Each structure stands twice: as C-alpha cells, then as structure tokens.
C-alpha cells in the first residue's frame, strides 16, 4: 500500500478539494513569516491528510494569530 495515495474520507478526497488552496495558504505564510516556517509537509509529497507546518518556537503564537 502506498501511503501517498489519497484515501477517500467521509469528506471526500481532501487533496483534490483543497490542494490548490493549501498551496496558496502555505505560500502566504512562508512569505509573511520568512524563515519562521522551518518545514512544510504537504499531502501531495508527504503521507498526511492535511498540511503540516513546522514553526520556530519563538513565532508559534504570532503564526497562530
């Protein structure tokens, strides 16, 4: 089983529905916080259902705002 293959959930294929919007949101976050976002794991390249952003600890509260 390839964990990178989309699995339909009760909401459908999230990557198909939200993939482009996630790319835009991630790009905006990277632009706004520059080097504050250390790593991005996107469902198209990483076995996860939603994007995961690793943020420097000093900026966690600012990013969450």
For the stretch 17-32, pLDDT in tens is 888 999 999 999 999 9
What pLDDT band is residue 13 in, cutting at 50, 70 and 90?
confident
What per-residue confidence (pLDDT) applies to 14? 77
With contact defined as beta carbons under 8 Å apart, do 1 and 27 qualify? no
Mean pLDDT (the chain, rounded): 84
What per-residue confidence (pLDDT) applies to 17? 84
E strands in the chain: 37-41, 52-55
Q: What is the pTM of this model?
A: 0.72
What per-residue confidence (pLDDT) applies to 48? 81
Distances in Å between the Cα of 7 and the Cα atoms of 3, 11, 22, 36, 37 are 9, 10, 18, 31, 28
Residue with tokens 């509260």: 61
| Cα 15 from Cα 38, distance rounded (Å) | 22
């Amino acid at each position: 089983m390839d964990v990178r293959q989309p699995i339909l959930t009760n909401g459908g294929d999230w990557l198909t529905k939200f993939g482009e919007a996630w790319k835009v949101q991630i790009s905006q976050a990277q632009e706004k916080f520059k080097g504050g976002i250390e790593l991005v794991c996107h469902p198209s390249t990483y076995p996860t259902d939603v994007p995961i952003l690793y943020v420097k600890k000093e900026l966690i509260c600012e990013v969450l705002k």
